[in-house]
Amino acid sequence: MSDYYVALLRQLETLPQGDGGGLRAIGVTSCRRREGVSTVAANLALGIAWSRGQPTLLVDANVHAPAVTDLFEVGPLPGLSEYLIGSAELKDCVRKSSVEHLQILPAGRWAPENERAACAGTFARMLEALKAEFATVVVDLPAASDLSICFALAPALDGVLLVVESDRVPGHMALRVKRRLEQARANLLGVVFNNKRRA
């Protein structure tokens, strides 16, 4: 694993763990699409599985642009979407990966009714069930744009990382997204600067 992700893991371990058993469910989002959220989330989950040797789950909630199934070559259906609307059991949606201690929950096929299910608390209840089985759950969230479900999902997580492509996203946009996440009652853990050019 690159020094970049080793440093990120070390930073997470220094954060206050709170009263609820620590950072067991961590989300990763961005200001807009194509800032490398799936790459960061996947490497974070890999790093946790390798370094801690504990059951780790990577959830693909980036439902309109899922990438996790391709990264880990797992079947896309059923997945998160099917679980949220009640057409599949959670145990049938989770896949084993080729990496020891790491399993995958793919996005599935998204539909309008999934958003209502997520907002109704099904996602939060799912996380509690997953935390009973996995030491850490990493969630690849969609970008925190105006029409995103990110703001419905993020408050259910123990913490959220905001990925910012430093040479592409203006500071005022990052600050606006930060404020909106906080208004949604998400626990913002910090910012991950991605693809920063070296001077």
Give the model confidence (pLDDT) of 155-168 as tens digits. Answer: 999 999 999 887 77
136: three-class secondary structure by DSSP: strand
pTM confidence score = 0.90
What was the pLDDT predicted at 133? 95
Asked if residues 152 and 114 have their Cβ atoms less than 8 Å apart, the reply is no
- Please state the domain extents for the chain: 22-194
Q: Whole-angstrom Cα distance, residue 25 to residue 3?
A: 23
**Out of 13-17, 161-165, 194-198, which region has the weakest mean confidence (pLDDT)?**
194-198
Which of the residue ranges 46-50, 101-105, 167-171 has the most confident prediction, judged by mean pLDDT? 101-105
Q: Whole-angstrom Cα distance, residue 105 to residue 75?
A: 10
What was the pLDDT predicted at 103? 97
What single-letter DSSP state applies at residue 165? E
Give the fold, CATH level 3, of 22-194: Rossmann fold (3.40.50)
CA 141 to chain CA mean position, Å: 5
What was the pLDDT predicted at 1? 60
What was the pLDDT predicted at 197? 53
Average pLDDT over residues 174-196: 87
Angle formed by the axes of helices 122-131 and 112-119, to 10°? 70
Statement: residue 139 has pLDDT above 90:
yes
Statement: residue 199 has pLDDT above 50:
no
Statement: residue 20 has pLDDT above 60:
no
Contacts of 163 (CB under 8 A, 6+ apart): 28, 29, 30, 35, 36, 37, 40, 191, 192, 194
Per-chain mean pLDDT for the chain: 86
